């Protein structure tokens, strides 16, 4: 039990952030995180340490997300993101420097954060999963391939397509 509690303490935040980047719904992300840990606990007897634990855990999370996404898509229409907040992608935001500091710079950063969040949300599910696992969670392409159960070449292709789509949606900001 103590080992499981340590795993929960170590990985609950990364899982929560992963789900949040996919759903943009904090409460739903918390529910998904708890269910992923429940599934991990329930299947603990079947775990074989043949690879990295994080890959195994995020594979459970990905499978759970896909199941829940399919259920939700049959019940309700997806909610679009109206505005990004502090939780938008920091990595991408940092790649586009703010031209000013102070209140104007903060306003531009908030606007940019919203644009980044909408650009990521606008990706197809396949591209968004690869992008979030790579850019937000820091997984290597080989790990992403294992999590998503696809070839590494497919991961590279999807990542390139995701970056191209995001660059296209953020072209106005890249020109500043």
pLDDT at 174: 65
Q: Please give the model's pTM, rounded to 2 decimal places.
A: 0.53
The answer to whether residue 155 sits within a structural domain is no
Instruction: Report whether 24 contacts 82 (CB < 8 A).
Output: no
pLDDT at 106: 61
Rounded (10°) CA dihedral 100, 103, 109, 114: -150
Which pLDDT band holds residue 83 (cuts at 50, 70, 90)? very low
Q: Which of 26-35, 46-55, 111-120 has the highest mean pLDDT?
A: 26-35
The answer to whether residue 136 sits within a structural domain is no
The answer to whether residue 153 sits within a structural domain is no
Domain that holds residue 38: 1-79
pLDDT at 139: 86
Which pLDDT band holds residue 10 (cuts at 50, 70, 90)? very high
The answer to whether residue 54 sits within a structural domain is yes
Average of per-residue pLDDT across 134-161? 89
Residue of 66, 72, 54, 68 whose CA lies nearest to 15:
54
The answer to whether residue 141 sits within a structural domain is no
To the nearest whole percent, how much of the chain has pLDDT over 70? 76
Q: Which residue has the higher pLDDT, 158 or 81?
A: 158
The answer to whether residue 39 sits within a structural domain is yes
What is the CATH classification number for the domain harbouring 25? 1.10.1740.10
The domain total for the chain is 1
The answer to whether residue 6 sits within a structural domain is yes
């Amino acid at each position: 039990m103590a080992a499981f509690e340590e795993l929960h303490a170590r990985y609950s935040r990364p899982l929560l952030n992963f789900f949040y980047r996919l759903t943009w719904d904090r409460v739903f992300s918390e529910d998904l995180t708890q269910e992923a840990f429940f599934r991990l606990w329930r299947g603990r007897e079947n775990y074989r340490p043949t690879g990295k634990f994080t890959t195994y855990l995020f594979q459970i999370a990905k499978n759970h997300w896909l199941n829940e996404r399919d259920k939700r898509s049959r019940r309700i229409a997806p909610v679009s993101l109206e505005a990004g907040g502090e939780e938008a992608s920091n990595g991408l935001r940092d790649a586009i420097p703010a031209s000013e500091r102070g209140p104007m710079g903060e306003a531009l950063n908030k606007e940019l954060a919203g644009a980044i969040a909408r650009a990521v949300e606008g990706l197809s599910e396949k591209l968004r999963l690869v992008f979030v696992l790579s850019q937000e969670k820091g997984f290597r392409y080989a790990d992403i391939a294992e999590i998503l159960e696809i070839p590494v070449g497919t991961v590279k292709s999807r990542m390139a397509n995701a970056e191209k789509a995001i660059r296209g949606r953020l072209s106005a900001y890249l020109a500043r």
